[in-house]
Amino acid sequence: MTDVRVAVLGVGAMGADHVARLTERVPGARVSVVCDALDDTAERVAAVTPGTRVVADPLDAIVADDVDAVILATPGPSHAEQVMACLDAGRPVLCEKPLTTEPASAYEIVRREAELGKKLVQVGFMRRFDGEYIALRARIAAGEFGTPLMVHCIHRNVTVPSYFDSRMVVADSLVHEVDATRFLLGEEIVAVTVNVPASSPDGRPGLQDPQFTLFETSSGVLIDAEVFVTSGVAYEVRAEVVGDRGSAMIGYGRTPVPLDFRERFTQAYDNQLWHWIEAVRTGRKVDGPGAWDGYAAAAVSAAGVQSLATGERVSVEIRPRP
C-alpha cells in the first residue's frame, strides 16, 4: 500500500505541528501540499518538508491530483466551505475544531456526508485519543461508579493569543469540555448556562475570563466547567466524574507540569493522526469523532454564546440525525 498524500491547509501553529508529526512520526503518510493565507508561512514550512509543494488556494489544494486526504488547520470561519469542498471531492478530512462556527453549516455537512453514504469527516477532538479520557470512559461504561450524576471540568491555559475574545472562550476552549463530556457520558447536552465571575484584575478588554458554565445532559447529569484561559500558571485540564457509587479524577499530578496543549496532549495528537492515517490508508471506516460530534458541539457552543450574552439558561437545539 502506498503512502497517503496529505494536504495540510493552514500551517501556522497547529498546522505546522501536524506537518512535523506526519513527517517525523506517522508511518504510511507524507505531506504533499501545504497552503496558508500567508505565502511566507507556507514557503517556510515547505522548505523544511521534503517532497512538499505550496498551493496558494485552499480549494485548489483540496482537489489536487497529488492529494488523497486533507488536514484543515485554517481559521474556523473558513471550515464550512473547505469541508464541503472535501466532501464534494470525496477526500477524507481531519478538521481542527470547531467543525464550523455555527450549527446551520455544521448540520449541512452532516446532511451532505449522510447523502454520500461514506464517513469522510473527522473532527480534531484529540482528547478522545488520550489514555486518561479513554480509561475513564471505559470505567463509566462498566458501571464502576454507578449512575453518573455530576462531572467537574477544569480547563486552564497559561495565556491565549491577543485575538482571543469572550466568544472564543466558549467556541474554541469550552468546546473541548463539550466534546469530552459527550464522549465520557455518551449523551447529549441539552442546556447551557454560562456564568461569569469577577474578571481577573489583569483581564483584557473584550475577554470575559474566567467563565464558569453549567451543562445539563439529557439524563439530568450536571456538569460544571471552569475555563480560565489567562490563568498565567500552567495548562491544566482535569475532570472528575461523580456517580452514585463512586468517583474518579483525571488530569492531576502530571509532571513536568505542561504549559500548553501541544505538550499535554502530545500522545493524544499522535494517536489521533496514526489512527486516522491508518483508516485512510487501508480504506477502513474513519471512526474518530465525526461530523455529528462537530455539529452537536457547534449547537452547544451557539447556546453557550447566547447564554454568555444574556446570562440566561439556554436550551440546546439539536436537529434530528439524518
Q: Which residues in this chain contact ligand ISE in the complex, by CB under 6 A?
A: 157, 160, 172-173, 176, 229, 261
How far apart are CB 160 and ligand ISE at their closest, in Å? 6
How far apart are CB 157 and ligand ISE at their closest, in Å? 5
Nearest to ligand ISE of 107, 164 (CB atom): 164
Nearest to ligand ISE of 261, 292 (CB atom): 261
Nearest to ligand ISE of 74, 157 (CB atom): 157
- Record the cell numbers describing residue 39, joined without a space: 505565502
- H helix runs in the chain, sequence order: 13-24, 39-47, 58-63, 79-89, 103-116, 131-141, 166-168, 175-185, 261-264, 266-282, 291-310
Nearest to ligand ISE of 145, 276 (CB atom): 276
- Record the cell numbers describing residue 68, joined without a space: 488523497
CA-atom Rg of the chain in angstroms: 19
How far apart are CB 215 and ligand ISE at their closest, in Å? 17
Instruction: Tell me, letter by letter, the H, E, C secondary structure of 44-94.
Output: HHHHCCCCCEECCCHHHHHHCCCCCEEEECCCHHHHHHHHHHHHHHCCCEE
304 near 174, Cβ under 8 Å?
Answer: yes
Q: How far apart are CA 106 and CA 112, in angstroms?
A: 10
144 near 222, Cβ under 8 Å?
Answer: no
Beta-carbon contacts of 222 under 8 Å, excluding residues fewer than 6 positions away, are: 149, 150, 151, 214, 215, 216
How far apart are CB 129 and ligand ISE at their closest, in Å? 13
How far apart are CB 14 and ligand ISE at their closest, in Å? 8
Nearest to ligand ISE of 126, 299 (CB atom): 126
- Record the cell numbers describing residue 104, joined without a space: 446551520
Shortest-Cβ-distance residue relative to ligand ISE = 173
How far apart are CB 149 and ligand ISE at their closest, in Å? 26
Nearest to ligand ISE of 58, 124 (CB atom): 124
